[in-house]
């Protein structure tokens, strides 16, 4: 009798953790706030940037959040970092010469009243357009007949990717990638891409493939625009990304 009771009790004790685990799994799956806290700083950056881009958040709130996320990105990623600590960058279109950069002597770079927190409504052109040979605008290089690869100019974390641009979207960047270098506190922006092969949260190193040059984006899509990559660099000052001019480095092929 005593033996039977005790074994029955054991069985009940065994059953309870299984039921409890199932309950916990369901609880975590169904509670969106708990789910949100699991996403990590790169995906949070991506969601925050979408709000900035679409004008859905105040500058003050956005800067405050960005500052916190940059600190989390540094903390989460520097542990396993094997990035390059020098200040040079690579050229984003391998095989293309520096004179593919638009304008004269880097004149394509215009800060004017640019403010990162103006999102899609920003003024100025705080970057460089690098043109490919694509007279028939099919997105392929006229000489090789192949898509033109876009590579990362430095080490960093992919913090935002937009993949689904199609006309008549008014989004200026089209299909784009934002990369954050947590060592230098610097952002790198690649816009108007066609294909994108990286994901938010992924670590990339200099020379890693990001995607291919495309014609996506409000002003890059119409016929009047020759096919190009838009490339920009921002230095973050306490969560406030300020444009910087990479022209001298790009002109030397990235060094
Ligand atoms: Zn541009």
Between the CA of 128 and the centroid of ligand 1 the distance, in Å, is: 6
**What's the pTM value of the predicted model, to 2 decimals?**
0.84
* Digit-coded pLDDT (tens) for 62-118: 999 999 999 999 998 888 777 667 788 999 999 999 999 999 999 999 999 999 999
Do the Cβ atoms of 116 and 240 come closer than 8 Å?
yes
Between the CA of 99 and the centroid of ligand 1 the distance, in Å, is: 16
Between the CA of 230 and the centroid of ligand 1 the distance, in Å, is: 4
* Digit-coded pLDDT (tens) for 123-159: 999 999 999 999 999 999 999 999 999 999 999 999 9
* Digit-coded pLDDT (tens) for 170-222: 999 999 999 999 999 999 999 999 999 999 999 999 999 999 999 999 999 99
Between the CA of 127 and the centroid of ligand 1 the distance, in Å, is: 6
Quote the pLDDT of residue 81. 76
**Strand 149-151, strand 209-213: pairing:** antiparallel
The number of angstroms, rounded, from the C-alpha of 131 to the middle of its chain's C-alpha atoms is 21
**Bridge partner list, 129:** 230
At residue 38, does pLDDT exceed 60? no
Average pLDDT over residues 224-251: 97
- Cα end-to-end span (Å), the chain: 84
Quote the pLDDT of residue 25. 57
Considering the chain, what is the average pLDDT of its residues? 88
Record the tokens describing residue 139, joined without a space. Answer: 């997105």
Between the CA of 121 and the centroid of ligand 1 the distance, in Å, is: 14
At residue 5, does pLDDT exceed 70? no
Quote the pLDDT of residue 27. 55
Between the CA of 221 and the centroid of ligand 1 the distance, in Å, is: 12
Between the CA of 146 and the centroid of ligand 1 the distance, in Å, is: 22
At residue 6, does pLDDT exceed 70? no
Q: Is the peptide bond before 168 cis (omega within 30 degrees of 0)?
A: yes
Between the CA of 129 and the centroid of ligand 1 the distance, in Å, is: 5
Backbone angles phi, psi at 241, to 5 degrees: -70, 120
């Amino acid at each position: 009798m005593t033996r039977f009771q005790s074994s029955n009790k054991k069985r009940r004790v065994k059953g309870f953790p299984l039921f409890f685990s199932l309950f916990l799994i369901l609880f975590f799956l169904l509670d969106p706030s708990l789910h949100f806290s699991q996403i990590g700083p790169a995906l949070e950056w991506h969601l925050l940037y979408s709000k900035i881009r679409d004008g859905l958040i105040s500058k003050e709130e956005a800067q405050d959040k960005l500052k916190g996320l940059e600190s989390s990105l540094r903390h989460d990623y520097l542990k396993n970092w094997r990035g390059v600590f020098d200040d040079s960058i690579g050229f984003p279109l391998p095989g293309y010469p520096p004179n593919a950069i638009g304008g004269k002597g880097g004149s394509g770079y215009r800060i004017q009243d640019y403010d990162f927190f103006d999102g899609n409504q920003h003024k100025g052109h705080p970057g460089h357009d690098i043109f490919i040979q694509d007279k028939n605008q099919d997105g392929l290089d006229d000489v090789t007949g192949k898509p033109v690869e876009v590579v990362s100019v430095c080490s960093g974390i992919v913090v935002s990717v937009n993949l689904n641009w199609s006309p008549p979207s008014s989004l200026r960047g089209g299909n784009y990638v934002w990369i954050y270098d947590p060592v230098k506190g610097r952002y790198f922006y690649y816009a108007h891409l066609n294909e994108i092969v990286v994901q938010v949260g992924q670590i990339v190193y200099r020379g890693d493939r990001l995607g291919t040059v495309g014609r996506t984006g409000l002003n890059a899509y119409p016929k009047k625009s020759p096919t190009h990559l838009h490339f920009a660099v921002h230095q973050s000052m306490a969560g406030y990304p300020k444009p910087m001019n990479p022209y001298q480095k790009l002109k030397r092929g990235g060094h």
